[in-house]
Amino acid sequence: MATGTEEVAHPVQAAAVMNLLPNRPRLLALGEPTHGDGTLLDVRNDLFRQLVEEEGYRTIALESDCLAGPIVDDHITTGRGSLDEVMERGFSHGWGAWEGNRALVRWMRAHNARLEREGRPASERVRFAGIDGPLEITHAASPREALTALHRWLAAGVDPGLLPSTEGTLDRLLGADDRWTEPAAMRDPARSFGRSAEARELRLHADELVALLDERAPELIAATSRDEWERARLYGRTAVGLLRYHHWMAARSPARMTRLVGLRDQMMAHNLLALARRGPRLVSSHNAHLQRSRSTMRMDDGQVAWWNAGALVGARLGDDYAFLATAIGTLRHRGVDAPPRDTVEGLLHALPGDRSLVDARRLAATLTDRPPAARVSPWFGYAPLDPAHLAELDGIVHVRDVRERREE
């Protein structure tokens, strides 16, 4: 090709990924331009297995409910629960029904079981985490689960006099969960409970509980374990994040939607930074949550722009954060046919083979005299690469044809 695209393409293999990067990052993010079962999950699973077996990665983190994630992690580390139960309860967004996620959990449990039989140390076993809050853009869970779990954990480990409240007080302030999950609140802020007197008081209690958890860290870790303390910190982050999200659900401000989408990614970023302290980890989520540049989205009230999880984490970690964006050629079951030749996807579609790892910065350098056009998607659920962000990527995983699982 005239662009020299072949010269910057490699097989999608763990070693090739590491060769693109200045060092082995604590967080390696693999983005995707659309969600769905099939080819994209196969690519993710294959890469994670290689990273585990060849590069020392031990954890995969997905864009799924962070409070449900421990159900999956407990299963793959201890065998607790059946696979069917884990897939139903351990994933949000309905993603437990996807065969690609089921295959991932099945492989992780089998990998750990083999290590157990061989007497290998627990540090070599693979782990699972969810990074999303228990929410969607349009609604959020009650903070009850996270706040109550944090209070109970602390009550079992510290002098009760140090706690800012009793569990009964929290239960009274929380009230019925349906006042937090009111579906009409997204359209009508007045229907949200997030700025009530009870919600304001709960934010103070949550802040005090998190401060106590950090203040007593040495004795709590010694009495339990670092894993248990880290899980309690997850409860704390989630409780604080949900209360903040509900606060903005109740706002009558032009910045309301910008704050809501930004808060969701901020919760993701906090979860990722907690994982990074014990890296290295592979992270799988939408490109828009992991890219280094600002994300944008058109909504009913206009376009919103916010700093996503990848941008927030990248600013903190520097070279310890790396981002591979996934680009696709076709998604025919969604009406996305072969890309125009003058787009980034069109250039990549001409590569041989079904999957390629592309050096994004070298590719961008070859296109300075003829910037590619932006691809336009006929389907709202697929977001093409923005050619203006090409030089900010550490690499591109190109998948020529994305197929549904039932077609395979």
Amino acid at 166: T
Token representation of residue 303:
């376009």
Q: Which of 66, 87, 74 is nearest to 146 (CA)?
A: 66
Rounded to whole angstroms, how far apart are CA atoms 375 and 378? 10
Local structure of 400: helix, strand or coil: strand
Quickly tell me which residue has 């039932």 as its tokens: 406
The whole-number pLDDT of residue 109 equals 98
The whole-number pLDDT of residue 279 equals 78
Cβ proximity of 87 and 37 under 8 Å: no
Crossing angle (nearest 10°) for helices 69-78 and 99-117: 40
> With the C-alpha atoms ordered 154, 159, 165, 168, is the resulting torsion angle positive or negative?
positive
Low-confidence ranges of the chain (pLDDT < 70): 1-6, 406-408
Rounded to whole angstroms, how far apart are CA atoms 90 and 94? 10
First vs last C-alpha separation in the chain: 31
The whole-number pLDDT of residue 408 equals 39
Cβ partners under 8 Å of residue 405, min gap 6 = 37, 38, 98, 99, 100
The whole-number pLDDT of residue 2 equals 42
DSSP letter (8 states) at residue 6 = G
The whole-number pLDDT of residue 1 equals 38
Distances (CA, A) of 151 to 35, 82, 168, 379: 35, 29, 11, 45
Rounded to whole angstroms, how far apart are CA atoms 107 and 113? 10
The whole-number pLDDT of residue 368 equals 84
Rounded to whole angstroms, how far apart are CA atoms 251 and 319? 37
Token representation of residue 73:
């992690």
Cβ proximity of 112 and 76 under 8 Å: yes
Cβ partners under 8 Å of residue 382, min gap 6 = 33, 34, 328, 331, 334, 336
DSSP letter (8 states) at residue 374 = P
**129 beta partners:** 61
Rounded to whole angstroms, how far apart are CA atoms 39 and 107? 17
